[in-house]
Amino acid sequence: MLVVVLGLGSTAAWALDRFVIEHVEISDVAQYEAENSTTTATEPTVTTSTEPVLTATSYTSDDASVSISTVVTGSGADTVTYYVADVELTDATALRSAFAQNSFGENIIDLTSSIAAEHDAIFAINGDYYGFRDTGIVIRNGVAYRDEPARDGLAFSLDGSVEVYDETTTSADELIADGVWNTLSFGPAIVEDGDVVAGIENVEIDTNFGNHSIQGDQPRTAVGVIDDNHLVFVVVDGRDPGYSAGVTLPELAEIMQSLGATTAYNLDGGGSSTMYFNGSVINQPSNGGERETSDILYVGAAS
């Protein structure tokens, strides 16, 4: 293997190591979380029904309710198709994160649907593709995995609140002490205090080799906050004229506003944008099929 890498030249070898070769830091995430979690999840509120109810487009259990809808706007080459999941939780810990291959590190990837199935998810979306970079604060399911502040992140707390925050002003330990359950590190924030954030059309994410911008009409994934324990997730399909052209970040922000989100945050998009419900991918990823990613957010099916 060493001979092959050297033969590629220093630039190609660097790119292979940076973007392709797996760098496993934690090989058993389930065990790591069990050993390091300081969070005791509260018991879910017991309702009159103890059996989960699943229909073609909705799911209700004691932990969460998920309602799925499809929206088509425009016509011809300007048609846009997107999928909306309205999610209400009785316990903030019902929204969980999972890593590809049950491992944490760089370039460890799997299909959103595969990760979801492994965790008995009823609903899932692709996450922030933390494994593409080595920066950002990564807290998942109440456990810290990375503490390298770099950008504006999104913090989900045990009290059901969700806030955009500046990673560079805090630490993973401080966030956990303050009751943070999950963080995402991608962005940008696209809606704050109910208003579209100015200048988001000029933002660049991961301005390094091979990933220079997120401008223009693109497939998108976003999470919005309607109220404590009430979230809305959107996946916009794109790059398929006549079916869905995709949207710009300001257009994505306007979609989130229209759904009642007072805060909204952009996640990894493009070929990664995937929404999964009841055993199937319900959108049409732009690569002609799912693109592997490093992590998901999900709601588990009640047993």
SS3 letters for 194-247?
A: CEECCCHHHCCCCCECCECCCCCCECEEEEEEEECCEEEEEEECCCECCCECCE
Mean pLDDT of the chain: 90
β-pair type (143-148, 152-157): unpaired
β-pair type (121-126, 152-157): unpaired
pLDDT digits (tens, 9 = 90+) for 140-151: 999 999 999 999
Question: Once rounded to an integer, what is the mean pLDDT over residues 104-117?
Answer: 97
Residue 274 lies in a domain: yes
Number of domains in the chain: 1
Residue whose tokens read 């989900």: 156
Q: Which of 46-55, 153-162, 221-230 has the lowest mean pLDDT?
A: 46-55
Residue 18 lies in a domain: no
Model confidence at 138, pLDDT cuts 50, 70, 90, reads very high
- AA identity, residue 126: N
Query: Which secondary structure element, helix H or strand E, spans residue 168, and what is its range?
Result: none
Model confidence at 22, pLDDT cuts 50, 70, 90, reads confident
pTM over 0.85? The answer is yes
Model confidence at 163, pLDDT cuts 50, 70, 90, reads very high
Residue 230 lies in a domain: yes
Question: Once rounded to an integer, what is the mean pLDDT over residues 20-26?
Answer: 80
Domain of residue 40, residue span? 26-300
pLDDT digits (tens, 9 = 90+) for 232-282: 999 999 999 999 999 999 999 999 999 999 999 999 999 999 999 999 999
Residue 16 lies in a domain: no
Question: Once rounded to an integer, what is the mean pLDDT over residues 60-80?
Answer: 97
